Amino acid sequence: MTYEKLALLASPTDRAQEAAADLAGCTDWVALEEADAAVVLGGDGFMLETMHRMIEDDALRPVYGLNLGTVGFLMNRYTKGCRLLDRLAKARPIAVSPLRMEAVTQSGETESFYAINEVSLLRETRQTAKIEISVNERVRIAELAGDGVLLATPVGSTAYNYSANGPILPLDSQMLALTPISPFRPRRWRGAVLPDRSRVTFRVLDPKKRPVSVVADQKELRDVAEVRLEIDNSREMTLLFDPGHALDDRIVAEQFAY
């Protein structure tokens, strides 16, 4: 597919800024709000920042990332020069939808955030967190005791979820990973894989003594009482990958890394 109007977004790092200067003359770059697609220079963190900006500004554009960070799981390999435009025309689109989080604090205030990778609940003090877990309004775990719990999308399943011993999900699985973080009880529960149409609710038990924070990708809210989560398909985004380097291929490859 040919994208006629392109925006160029670069992280503030020296490497990304040098790459932006190298690509400056490749086309007549436009502002994001005028673009058909965006080229993102940086690492996974900057890619997530960019995607969140698009969600918040209701400017959902296909995004093609070039890795100038560390891991670059959401990015393509960076090469110098204007061959970028040919690569874009051959890129494979992958649709991803974020989690919508609605959290209620202990004081009764409600906040809403989006998460592309995962939403995690974490204990704030030395006290073990105790959390009730419901799926589709049915209590499944009456009391999870541990450091916390997270819900990850397929895109985020190789990030914090994987470090917490959660499963890696193929991108087209239409599943979510529900994973405990350092669980103490129930001892044998290692998490669950849920259909992505599921509605998940976390209720913090004894929040005064055992305060819990919630983190949606890069946004944190402390002293929460309840968190409700579900996929928001109205905010579907498109990631563009070079043939042979698609995200689902990388998810499979990650499971054989050692």
Q: What is the pLDDT of residues 197-212, one digit of tens each?
A: 999 999 999 999 999 9
Q: Which of 100-104, 189-193, 240-244 has the lowest mean pLDDT?
A: 240-244
Domain co-membership, 62 together with 113: no
Task: For residue 218, give Cα distances in angstroms to 44, 221, 225.
Answer: 12, 10, 20
Residues of the binding site for NAD(+):
44-45, 117-118, 147, 155, 158-163
- The pLDDT of residue 24 is 95
For residues 103 and 229, give the distance between their C-alpha atoms in angstroms, rounded to a whole number.
9
pLDDT of residue 246: 59
Q: Which of 99, 97, 98, 51 is nearest to 74 (CA)?
A: 51
Q: Do 103 and 93 fall within a single domain?
A: no
For residue range 21-31, what is the model confidence (pLDDT) as tens digits? 999 999 999 99
Q: What residue type is 168 in one-letter code?
A: I
Is residue 150 within 8 Å of 162, Cβ to Cβ?
Answer: no
Are residues 91 and 127 located together in one domain of the fold?
Answer: no
* Tens digit of each residue's pLDDT (9 = 90 or more) over 93-149: 989 999 999 999 999 999 999 999 999 999 999 999 999 999 999 999 999 999 999
The two three-digit tokens of residue 137, written as one number = 């309004």
Same-domain status, 202 and 103: yes
Do 215 and 243 sit in the same domain of this protein?
no
44 catalytic, yes or no? yes
Of 248, 141, 125, the residue nearest 190 (C-alpha) = 141
pLDDT band at 73 (very low <50, low <70, confident <90, very high): confident
Whether 192 has a pLDDT exceeding 70, the answer reads: yes
For the chain, what is the domain count? 2
**Model pLDDT, residue 61:** 93
Same structural domain, 64 and 109: no
Q: 241 and 227 in one domain? A: no
Look up the domain containing 242 and give its range: 6-97+236-254
Highest mean pLDDT, choosing among 42-46, 83-87, 193-197:
193-197
- Percentage of residues in the chain having pLDDT higher than 90: 79
Domain CATH for 50: 3.40.50.10330
Annotated binding-site residues read 44-45, 117-118, 147, 155, 158-163
Residues 158 and 222 grouped into a single domain = yes
The one catalytic residue in 44, 196, 217, 249 is 44
**HEC string for the chain:** CCCCCEEEEECCCHHHHHHHHHHCCCCCCCCHHHCCEEEEEECHHHHHHHHHHHHHHCCCCCEEEEECCCCCCCCECCCCCCCHHHHHHHCEEEEECCEEEEEEECCCCEEEEEECCEEEEEECCCCCEEEEEEECCEEEEEEEEEEEEEEECCCCCCCHHHHCCCCCCCHHHCEEEEEEEEEEECCCCCCEEEECCCCEEEEECCCCCCCEEEEECCEEECCEEEEEEEECHHHCEEEEECCCCCHHHHHHHHCCCC
Closest CA to 46 of 82, 79, 8, 80: 8
d(CA 160, CA 197): 22
Whether residue 74 is contained in a domain is answered as yes
Looking at the structure, do residues 79 and 152 belong to the same domain, yes or no?
Answer: no
